[in-house]
C-alpha cells in the first residue's frame, strides 16, 4: 500500500471512537512491560475472552508473545498521562508510574476504570499485527469518565 492510501485508511479508521487501555505483562527477564493500546475488544462471554492487537514491529512484541498472563487497564479521562507514558518506545519504564506486581507477576496500575486479568489463550497472525486473545480470570470496574481516542487525538467527550 502506498503512503497516500495508508494515510487515507488511517483517517477512516480514526473515525471509530475507542477507549484507551494500557496492557501490561512481565517479560521473560522479569522486567515489567506496559503498552498503550486501543485495539482492545470483547470477544466472548462464555468462555470470557477479550483481545487486543500488537504490532509485529513493537519492541516489546516478544514479551507479550511469551507472557502467560497479562492485564488490560481501561483508562479514565484523568489518565491521559499514563497513555502518553506507555505509548513511548521504552515500555519497560515504570519509574514515576505507581504500580504493584500481581501474584502472576503482572504489573497492576491503580485507579483505572476497569481491569481485566487475563491468561493468554490464543495468538493469531493478522497482517502486520498479532491478535492476542486472553481468557479473563478476574476483573474489576468502577464508575467514572473514560479516556477516548478519536481522529488520532485523545478526547474526554
Ligand atoms: C491511543 C494509542 C493506541 C495505540 N494502540 C496500539 C495497539 O492497539 N497496538 C499496538 O501495538 N500499538 C498501539 N499503539 C502504539 C504503542 O502504544 C506504542 O506507541 C508503540 O508500540 C511504540 O513502539 P514500540 O512498541 O516499538 O516501542 C497505540 C498508541 C496510541 C497513542
Question: Residue 92: what pLDDT?
Answer: 74
Q: Best substitution site from 10, 38, 149 to test ligand 1's pocket, by max atoms within 8 Å of Cβ?
A: 38
Answer with the residue of higher pLDDT: 119 or 1. Answer: 119
The Cα diameter of the chain in Å comes to: 47
| Record: fold of 19-148 | Pnp Oxidase; Chain A (2.30.110)
Side-chain half-sphere CA neighbours of 77 within 13 A:
7
Model confidence at 1, in pLDDT bands (50, 70, 90)?
Answer: confident
In this structure, which residue's CA is closest to atom 21 in ligand 1? Answer: 58
Ligand 1 centre distance from Cα of residue 37 (Å): 5
Nearest of 66, 58, 49, 73 to residue 121 by alpha carbon: 49
Q: Where are the domains of the chain?
A: 19-148
Question: Residue 23: what pLDDT?
Answer: 98
Find out whether the peptide bond into 47 is cis, omega within 30 degrees of 0.
Answer: yes
Which atom of ligand 1 is the closest one to the Cα of 59? Answer: 26
Average pLDDT estimate for 121-144? 98
d(CA 83, CA 34): 10
Question: Residue 96: what pLDDT?
Answer: 85
Model confidence at 80, in pLDDT bands (50, 70, 90)?
Answer: very high
Q: Is 35 in the pocket of ligand 1 (CB under 6 A)?
A: yes
Question: Residue 90: what pLDDT?
Answer: 79
Its pTM stands at 0.97
Which atom of ligand 1 is the closest one to the Cα of 89? Answer: 27
pLDDT, tens digit, for every residue of 89-115?
A: 777 788 889 999 999 999 999 999 999
Amino acid at each position: 500500500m502506498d503512503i497516500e492510501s495508508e494515510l487515507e485508511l488511517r483517517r477512516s479508521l480514526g473515525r471509530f471512537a475507542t477507549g484507551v487501555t494500557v496492557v501490561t505483562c512481565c517479560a521473560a527477564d522479569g522486567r515489567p512491560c506496559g503498552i498503550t493500546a486501543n485495539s482492545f475488544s470483547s470477544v466472548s462471554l462464555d468462555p470470557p475472552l477479550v483481545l487486543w492487537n500488537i504490532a509485529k514491529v513493537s519492541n516489546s512484541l516478544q514479551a507479550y508473545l511469551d507472557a502467560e498472563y497479562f492485564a488490560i487497564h481501561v483508562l479514565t479521562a484523568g489518565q491521559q498521562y499514563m497513555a502518553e507514558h506507555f505509548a513511548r518506545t521504552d515500555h519497560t519504564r515504570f519509574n514515576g508510574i505507581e504500580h504493584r506486581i500481581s501474584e502472576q507477576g503482572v504489573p497492576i496500575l491503580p485507579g483505572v476504570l476497569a481491569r481485566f486479568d487475563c491468561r493468554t489463550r490464543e495468538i493469531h497472525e493478522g497482517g502486520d499485527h498479532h491478535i492476542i486473545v486472553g481468557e479473563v480470570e478476574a476483573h474489576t470496574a468502577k464508575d467514572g469518565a473514560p479516556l477516548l481516542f478519536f481522529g488520532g487525538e485523545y478526547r474526554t467527550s
